[in-house]
């Protein structure tokens, strides 16, 4: 028992404090990093204030909206999606903020789409994401992150697209087929 106690005392202290919220310029650079270069300057960017409240850091002129990394989350994650997806995405954020948990968030959104209360894109729309890794504000680069590209096609199915509804290594497949959240998943090494 004594050896165990001594081992614990030798470990460095673990900080439980939340990460400081980066300056808006750093949040914007990190958020748009998932986009192709030509889309970055015109993207609308949502980020966080010092209290963790989501806000618009930059109103864009382009077709994309980027959601910056939440500094309260350990793993780096940014997502950029076509503006036509914003009502669906904003509703999900609002439901989570009100305490609704997954998968009920999707149940509510799917019901509201069916009732005509919530809009979804009328055609295909893209989302670019980074998961994990880190962002270096000095160089503007992401390292160690996994890329994920998806094309949302609400209500698409395997029959309407010819895509498998099961993950296929290095090939596109359809996830959530037949729902407002149907989308084609792309493996980065395709």
Q: Structural domain boundaries of the chain?
A: 18-149
Q: What percent of the chain has pLDDT over 70?
A: 89
What count of other Cβ atoms lies within 10 Å of the Cβ of residue 102?
A: 10
β-bridge partners, 171: 168
- What is the pLDDT confidence band of residue 61, given thresholds at 50, 70 and 90? very high
Q: Is the pLDDT of residue 80 over 70?
A: yes
Q: Single out the residue of 170, 160, 85, 69 nearest to residue 125, CA to CA.
A: 85
pTM above 0.85, yes or no: yes
d(CA 163, CA 150): 13
Task: Tally the C-alpha atoms within 13 A of residue 99's C-alpha that lie toward its C-beta.
Answer: 0
Q: Over the stretch 109-126, which tens digit does the pLDDT of each residue have?
A: 999 999 999 999 999 999
The sign of the dihedral angle between the CA atoms of 109, 110, 114, 118 is positive
Q: Which alpha helices (DSSP H) does 78-121 contain, by range?
A: 86-97, 104-114
Q: Over the stretch 67-76, which tens digit does the pLDDT of each residue have?
A: 999 999 989 9
């Amino acid at each position: 028992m004594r050896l165990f106690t001594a081992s614990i005392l030798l470990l460095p202290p673990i900080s439980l404090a939340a990460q400081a919220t980066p300056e808006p310029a750093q949040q914007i650079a990190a958020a748009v990093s998932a986009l192709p270069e030509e889309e970055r300057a015109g993207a609308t960017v949502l980020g966080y204030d010092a209290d963790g409240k989501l806000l618009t850091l930059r109103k864009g002129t382009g077709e994309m909206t980027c959601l910056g990394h939440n500094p309260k989350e350990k793993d780096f994650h940014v997502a950029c999606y076509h503006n036509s997806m914003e009502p669906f995405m904003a509703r999900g954020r609002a439901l989570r903020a009100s305490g609704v948990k997954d998968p009920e968030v999707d149940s509510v959104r799917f019901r509201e789409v069916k009732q005509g209360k919530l809009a979804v894109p009328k055609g295909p729309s893209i989302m670019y994401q980074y998961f994990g890794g880190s962002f270096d504000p000095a160089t503007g680069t992401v390292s160690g992150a996994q890329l994920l590209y998806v094309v949302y096609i609400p209500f698409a199915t395997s029959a309407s697209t010819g895509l498998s509804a099961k993950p296929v290594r290095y090939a596109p497949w359809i996830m959530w087929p037949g729902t407002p959240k149907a989308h084609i998943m792309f493996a980065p090494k395709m």
